[in-house]
Structure 1
Amino acid sequence: MGGYYSLRDQTLRLTPEVNGQRVIVINTGAEDVFTRILLDRAVFITTDEEFLKLADPRSIRLVMNPTKLSFAPESFDAAVLFFAFFYLPKHEAIIENINRVLKKWGKLYIWDAVIPKKMAHKSFFVVPLLIDTNQELIRTVHVTKWRREQPVGLVKKIARERGFKLTKEELYDQIFHLEMVKIAPIKQQKS
């Protein structure tokens, strides 16, 4: 096994004002903070049954692949992706599924890491993170197999091409936060 590359400690002040009565929270491996904030408004989706235990019990908790969401179209007012691409780099499929299940003018909130170009001798990319929610400090470490780079521009471009408009962008050292609004549905491809 090769070595790892670790960013210096990253700090994120998380005071989300996530609007909407039904909010889908996609979790692919990160610390869950959003079900604690959203409580019964959250529908928590994870790829691993072990992560269900981390979500607030007042939320709806489901094991589901975020690239194949099985909800009716326009079921949610908002969507939260917290380090979703960091662990599951299927940007296009995830964004397309979020577009399908979000109502028009629904909000998309993304927090993720800028991943630089891979260094040949490093196998893993590590992000030590301190999250300040104004109610608690959460220290967590995110580790992923280092296969590709992830500039913030890539995420913005993919979302824009799939019916989202950027309304807010923040960068906290190597962590980015994007807020977007759904302005158009995905156009169906002719078979």
Structure 2
Amino acid sequence: MKLVVKTPWVEVKLPQLSGRILDVGGGGEGVIGRTARGEIYILDISEKELEEAKSRGAKGEFIKGDARKMEFPDEYFDTVTSFFSLMYMRDSRKVLKECYRVLRKGGKMLIWDAVIPRCLIYNINVIARSENEVIKAKYAVVFPAPQTCEQIENLAKSVGFEVVRKERHEHWFYLELSKV
């Protein structure tokens, strides 16, 4: 097992998002809150991370809360996003189940996240490109659980999501999921 894993910079293309959007774990860099248009809700368990996202220019309603038990009504959002956030959450299945619940039928969940090997510290550096902005973001996890695209894909399917599109890269992955 490696002690520290540092990836090279990876480049991620962001779609233009609009409508009612929930960004799960959207504090910190606030990438989705800085690039999406519409009614944006930024959920994070950490007040400090929400404040950081605000200071970086994220726009929307900032909500301190646990993604495993959200206080939103069923089928409330058009889109749910998770931008390099699942790697910080210990019960991804519960998070995905809640995301499925709050997403409207026909809605999409978009997940960008890291492929994490066994290690003590994991670092990934991301260049996020949207239509109007380029954001450089650095993420680090101490004592991370190993994570793969297949693992998150299987969890998503187990709660009812259908996989519309997937991209697997050496250090990261993207899943576009649909609630049918």
* TM-score interval, smaller chain: 0.7 to 0.9
- The Cα of 1:57 is off from its aligned counterpart by 6.1
State whether structure 2 residue 144 is matched by structure 1 residue 143: no
Is residue 71 from structure 1 mapped to residue 72 from structure 2 by the alignment? yes
How far has the Cα of 1:51 moved from its partner?
A: 2.3
8 A Cα contact 2:26 2:50, kept in partner: no
Equivalent residue number for residue 189 of structure 1: none
Measure how far apart 1:133 and its partner are. Answer: 2.3
| Count of paired positions | 176
- 1:125 aligns with 122
Note the 1:15-54 alignment, pairs <5 A. 15-19=14-18, 21-27=19-25, 30-53=28-51, 54=53
Aligned pair in 2 of structure 1 residues 89, 182: CA closer, same or farther (>3 Å)?
same
> Is the 2:28–2:50 Cα contact (8 Å) retained in structure 1?
no
Deviates more, 1:124-133 or 1:71-80: 124-133
1:41 and 1:59 in contact (8 A); partners too: yes
Structure 2 unaligned blocks of 5 or more: none
**Aligned-partner Cα distance in 2 for 1:143–1:58:** 24
Structure 1 segment 85-164 matched on structure 2, within 5 A:
85-116=86-117, 118-119=118-119, 123-164=120-161
Identity of aligned pairs, percent? 23
Secondary structure, counterpart of 1:163 in structure 2: coil
- In the alignment, what sits opposite 1:177? 174
Cα distance in 2 between the residues matched to 1:102 and 1:11: 27
Partner of 1:115, secondary structure, is: coil
In the TM superposition, what is the alpha-carbon distance from 1:130 to its structure 2 partner? 2.0
- Matched with 1:84 is 85
Query: Which residue number in structure 1 is paired with residue 7 of structure 2?
Result: 7
Kindly provide the amino acid, as one letter, of the partner of residue 80 in structure 2: A
Q: Aligned equivalents of 1:38 and 1:131: distance in 2?
A: 12
Instruction: For residue 135 of structure 1, give the secondary structure of its aligned residue in structure 2.
Output: coil
In the superposition, relative to structure 1, how do residues 109 and 97 fare at CA in structure 2: closer, same or farther (>3 Å)? same
- Unaligned runs of 5+ residues in structure 1 are 184-191
In the TM superposition, residue 146 of structure 1 has moved relative to its aligned partner by 3.0
Q: Using a 3 Å threshold, how does the CA distance of structure 1 residues 181 and 41 change in structure 2: closer, same or farther? A: same
The question of whether the paired residues in 2 share the 8 Å contact of 1:114 and 1:176 is answered with yes
- With normalisation by structure 1, the TM-score equals 0.83
2:163 counterpart letter in structure 1: L
Q: Given the two structures, how large is their TM-score scaled by the length of structure 2?
A: 0.88
Task: Give distance in 1, aligned partners of 2:31 and 2:91.
Answer: 22
Residues 1:166 and 2:163 aligned together: yes
